[in-house]
Structure 1
Amino acid sequence: MLRWTLLAGAASALVAPVVPRPRSARAAAAVAEKEDVELADCPVTQWGASIPDILAAQQAKRAAPEQPFLHVLEPPSADPDAQLRWLADHRDEVNAKLASHGAVNLRGWDLVRTPEGFRAAYEALGLEPCRDPLDAVSARPMVDKGSAVYEAVNKESRANFYIGMHNEFVGTRAPRAAMFVCFQQAEEGGEFMVCDGRRVFRDCDEELLARLYGRRIRYSVMELPFFSFLDGLPEEVAAGPVKIPLRAGAASAVRGVVAAAINAKVDFDVDMQWLDDEASAYGDDKTLQARAPVQPPVVLHPATGEPTWFCNVHSHSSVLRKKRESIYGAEKFEDGASRINKSDMYYGDDGSIAEGDLDHLDELTRKHTVSLRMAPGDAVLVDNYQTMHGRNVFKGTRKHAVSWFK
């Protein structure tokens, strides 16, 4: 997801002279174990052509018949070998359901109870795995070193963190599909959630949709609250008869160095901006925020050409996140990465989105979201361009995993 737990490693190294944040042994091992895995890079994001009249496209969608969402697939037999043969024999049928529905739920398939069986299932469907879009700087471990099965967000430190609905993409990279699987169900909560982006597009308030599409959107993807020392510098220093602006010059230099270091780790340009104390989540700790390039909130599906909501406001908005924290509690920041890994969303011109509009998008997204209490033997295949995914808070031990596909 665009919430980059991974850039935290790069940021930690960058600001080490100010606040040392060494990479955990677990994170280092996760990166090392993937060096031996040969996978294709995550595909380049396909934004599609610009939509000339976004409201006319929305009206056409409203006039069209209701499209189905989330096809449930029961196993043809209790025998895992028979299940595998069935998937291989019916791969075209399953992939057709993925295209028409946006998500296919394998429910009660003993075949996918293990990483090896899960991998056999997606190979039988002809799905070609790719690297996690965050993999270049990721600490996300693999469940099976020899496979493309990545661990989902199961850490206890993030159990109270409600992962809002989002498409999986990072700047220029987005998988075409993903398959999520449950190896162990949490004692309480932890539901996997899917949301139909076509319906979100269809039902969005017209004025808001026109504004969002016309002005475009952009995300902030990281906040670095490590620069309070700059406020301790004198505003200027005298060099003979000339006064040099020391504080502003130092802030400009720091911003440039940080931007260069982060841009060296990703394949798109990140814009660094200083936040004022009111906008920062860290109070008077002077904070740099990284913002991604401008993009549309609605795209044309790469295969069908249908317009679909492709916008992570539900997961990235700091306003919606804080409202959820008042209900579920906040994450514990045990490893420091989550503290750095703060996100927000703005218009493409950096203007703020009104709280009432964010509330509308939250209500609309939840309206079209289906929660799945997955158990061992369950997996969900999603079309990443037309289906968003998320995860509820949980208690206990949760072991879910995911593979990404070209």
Structure 2
Amino acid sequence: KEQDGFQEFYAALQMKICQDPLQSVSARPTADGKKDSPVYEAVNKESRKNFFIGMHNEFVGTRAPRAAAFVCFKAAEEGGEFLIADGRRMFRDLDADLIEELYQRKIRYSVMELPFFSWVDNFPEPVQQPVMNVLRGVVSAAINAKVDFDVEMLWGKSDYDSSKMLQARAPSQPPIVLHPVTGEPTWFCNVHSHSSKLRKDRESVYGAERFEDGASQINKSDMFFGDDGELTDEQLQHMNDITMKNTRFVKMTEGDVVLLDNYKCMHGRNVFDGTRKHAVAWFEGWEGEEAMKGTVAQQSTFA
């Protein structure tokens, strides 16, 4: 029920702690406010209580923890359930033709939007493009110096007011991965949390996002095919339906911990009212994992 006890819990399981995937951009505060703490705050802010966090695996660029432990220090008075979904079931339930198209074309995420450039429209039209080229180059250099993966900056228009914005897109990647121990194919695609359309659809149910400090709007995301093509509304709706079919709502109480395999299990969070204090620790693996791989390989040989 306290951070010390939580750390003793995962130490007893011989979990190997690792840095937060968002460490390079310092986007997630620690639970106790100490800079070097291994326990990070979950999304508990009152300003984000009506934001349904879609199902996702934890990764940023090429940084993906092997496992995670989510702890409840204080449950919200209403809602706030922790959500889990089995990526292997997702793979089995999704339309085979869609899986094939996604795998062949790959997927690509927009990981950040910078909606600060409406003033460019005040320039004469012949001047706008040279100004935009310079801005794109400067911002690209600054962002790539900050994060530990390559991003490409593309011009676009904000969904909120159609003003000019720069969108940071990560490199393309496959939506399916093989589990590092069992070799099973598993859905490893954050469309449910990252799709701008699916987020907007949820706003009709839970209300619009609240941008009180500006950070949430900057951190807006979206998903595309790896060749930057748009997914259709029908494809997005199908993925949403299959995701919610496989999602389980876990009502955690003080002291509860959910330990999950980040390559098998997606996670999210329901909307809530009241005060919620949940936290998370990330792991690169655990003692004995290599022995598990050997056992699985041996079983496969004799199967």
> Normalized against structure 1, the TM-score is what?
0.68
Deviations 1:248-270 (A, max 9, x none): 11111101111110000112211
In 2, distance between residues paired with 1:306 and 1:207?
Answer: 19
Secondary structure at the aligned position of 2:15 is classed as coil
1:289 partnered with 2:149? no
Letter in 1 for 2:79: G
1:325-404 aligned at under 5 Å gives the runs 325-404=203-282
1:181 counterpart (71, 76, 79): 71
Q: Which residue of 2 aligns with 1:143?
A: 31
Query: Whose radius of gyration is greater, 1 or 2?
Result: 1
Please report the RMSD computed on the Cα atoms of aligned residues, expressed in angstroms: 1.0
The alpha carbon displacement at 1:147 in A equals: 3.9
1:269-284 aligned at under 5 Å gives the runs 269-276=150-157, 280-284=158-162
Letter in 2 for 1:367: K
Q: 1:310 to 1:124 in 2, by over 3 A?
A: same
Figure out how many residues of one structure are paired with residues of the other and give that number: 282
Secondary structure at the aligned position of 1:264 is classed as helix
1:205-354 aligned at under 5 Å gives the runs 205-236=95-126, 246-276=127-157, 280-354=158-232
In 1, distance between residues paired with 2:208 and 2:250?
Answer: 23
The alpha carbon displacement at 1:376 in A equals: 0.5
Letter in 1 for 2:200: K
Name structure 1 gaps, 5 residues minimum: 1-112, 237-245
In 2, distance between residues paired with 1:284 and 1:350?
Answer: 20
The alpha carbon displacement at 1:283 in A equals: 2.2
Relative contact order, higher structure (CA 8 A, sep 6+) = 2
Letter in 2 for 1:344: D
In 2, distance between residues paired with 1:284 and 1:312?
Answer: 25
Letter in 1 for 2:186: T
The alpha carbon displacement at 1:235 in A equals: 2.4
In 2, distance between residues paired with 1:147 and 1:138?
Answer: 13
Secondary structure at the aligned position of 1:254 is classed as helix
Secondary structure at the aligned position of 1:351 is classed as coil
Letter in 1 for 2:117: F
Secondary structure at the aligned position of 1:161 is classed as coil
> Normalized against structure 2, the TM-score is what?
0.91
Deviations 1:311-362 (A, max 9, x none): 0000000111000011001221111100111111000010000111111101
The alpha carbon displacement at 1:365 in A equals: 0.7
Secondary structure at the aligned position of 1:183 is classed as strand
Determine if contact 1:119/1:147 at 8 Å carries over to the other structure: no
Q: Per residue, is there more strand in 1 or in 2?
A: 2
Secondary structure at the aligned position of 1:179 is classed as strand
Determine if contact 2:85/2:267 at 8 Å carries over to the other structure: yes
Secondary structure at the aligned position of 2:254 is classed as coil
Secondary structure at the aligned position of 2:98 is classed as helix
Secondary structure at the aligned position of 1:253 is classed as helix
Q: Which residue of 1 aligns with 2:56?
A: 166
Determine if contact 2:198/2:236 at 8 Å carries over to the other structure: yes
Q: Which residue of 1 aligns with 2:21?
A: 133
The alpha carbon displacement at 1:302 in A equals: 1.3
In 2, distance between residues paired with 1:222 and 1:147?
Answer: 26
Secondary structure at the aligned position of 1:281 is classed as coil
Determine if contact 1:159/1:331 at 8 Å carries over to the other structure: no
Deviations 1:77-134 (A, max 9, x none): xxxxxxxxxxxxxxxxxxxxxxxxxxxxxxxxxxxx1110110000000001111010
1:192 counterpart (82, 85, 94): 82
Determine if contact 1:216/1:295 at 8 Å carries over to the other structure: yes
1:61-100 aligned at under 5 Å gives the runs none
Secondary structure at the aligned position of 2:120 is classed as helix
Q: Which residue of 2 aligns with 1:204?
A: 94
Point out the more displaced range, 137-146 or 316-325.
137-146
In 2, distance between residues paired with 1:225 and 1:147?
Answer: 32
Determine if contact 2:113/2:168 at 8 Å carries over to the other structure: yes
